[in-house]
Structure 1
Amino acid sequence: MPARPSVLFVTDLAYQARGRRYCDEDVFLTSRLRNDFDIALCHPLDAAALMDSFDAVVVRNSGPVLHYQQEYDAFRVRATVRGTRVYNPLSGRGDMAGKQYLLDLTAAGYPVIPTVDRPQDLHMLPAAGQYAVKPKAGADSIGLAFVPQDGLGGLAYGDILVQPRIDFRYEVSFYYVDDAFQYALHAPDPGRRWVLEPYEPTSTDLAFADRFIDWNTLGHGIQRVDACRTQEGELLLVELEDLNPYLSLDLVPDHTRDTFVTSMTASLHRFLDAPPHP
């Protein structure tokens, strides 16, 4: 590997996200990563055509892939066939692979919002005033709807997930580089998901988040564990984001942001130095 590896940094700088400025975060990250890597930025639709000229592809704030699913699938196939180093690696078991993990974790008894995808399994869900119905291929709350219990029988099952609508105190996110916890943020107001504040996790909180990082077995990369705090005080997994998690780096103290960049830089070097997967 050359002294200064080359990195193709995939980002959609024009993507409009509610309450977040993707472009600012990626402009900041690339400005810092440039100290160690030769970096070029590209739109996700251009990644497959450009990636052969780089030592690694880093997928960051590229937006929901359902907006360009065919092209994303082609990128994954091409990267796999050519042995391209993609960060995060394409072996993630969380959102990168769809929402199946919510079903798997429910069946395995993990602390996750109970999730089913078949009408014959509805009895496994706790009673609730409303139920969240979301597409298996959803992202960013696209396609999310709430229905009463008597509306569950008329749903078109097959490509949807059903969960009880949880009355939670707040949402909290835990951010990791590889398997190392970096920082946490929470949204004190349940109705304002992206109005986040720094959060000091307890050892119990971190043990909760670590379980999902361990389950995912992703050796390298950036992950975000999203959870909600129920009225009873329990944490339940909402999402395990391992494709392109937004990091909200503008909301953490300078020293935390610096530590994150240092951790990501070291992780990328380890990733590039590791033997390629067969």
Structure 2
Amino acid sequence: MKKVDDGKLKKYGTLFDLPTSNKYNYIKLGGYTMILKKTMGILVAGCVLLGNVTYAQANGSSDEAVPVLYETQTQAPLLISAKEEGFKSEIDYKNLIIEFKGKTIQYDIEAQLVEGIFMVPLRHTLEEMDYKVTWNNKSKSVEISKGAQYTSINIGSNSYYKNKMAPIQLSSAPVIIEGRTLVPVEFLTEIIGNGVTIENNVLKIHDEPFASRSGYIYKIEEGDQEWILTITTEKQTTQTFAPESTDRIIVHLLKDSSIVNRGTLDIEDFVTVVHYPVMTMIFPAETSALIIY
């Protein structure tokens, strides 16, 4: 990563602010910036594309249904680790701005924490991205399409699919608040196929897919501004874990830019991590978490 004179970092010719610190390396892989601890002694040998994220489509609705009331929050929940210490997000969800292609999306109901899960309004977000959104009041469902792509969601059902693929669960079922459908933010990455990042309390929806990987938390290292998670493909114990051969990745969970859409993080939890489509090519590979659920 090349620093310019004013201390900013360059990405595709555009300057953006990142904090300067003696504790972190800012590493550029394929046009993305990953923030990794210097103490990890990272040597970047290259980058690799992980995951096969394809574009699916989705859209919201005018949602003329009876609103379902949920308690909303402005602070992220305290997440308890195996060490009984907390990871508390520093993202200001109440004042988070959402952008697509440099344009701020205007909402009549804001994206918000719903029972600890960060959720975004479906219709306004996806119509800004040129999706067609059709509300079915009889079935309390939303049909979502764009070109040949199609999906649908049902209010209260944590079952999501894209095109003809098998359904998956996300961090929450769709809900209706003040007459609007809200979905967990990872819906955008996992079903729609658009990556998201947070910089300076602005959530940017990228016009390209990112990657995701699921596995079990084997190890949690806690720091002031980040947690470092070791995530393995298969559940491991101290007896079965082999440092030389166990399939795993190292995930950096940053308090100011990683969205944690789950109530707890603990050893042996099964999680899915949304991350940049590139990783360090050392073993084990490392990346920054954009969303974990």
TM value normalised by structure 1: 0.26
Q: Larger % of helix: which?
A: 1
Q: TM-score, normalised by structure 2?
A: 0.25
Structure having the larger proportion of residues in strand: 2
Higher RCO structure (Cα 8 Å, ≥6 apart)? 2
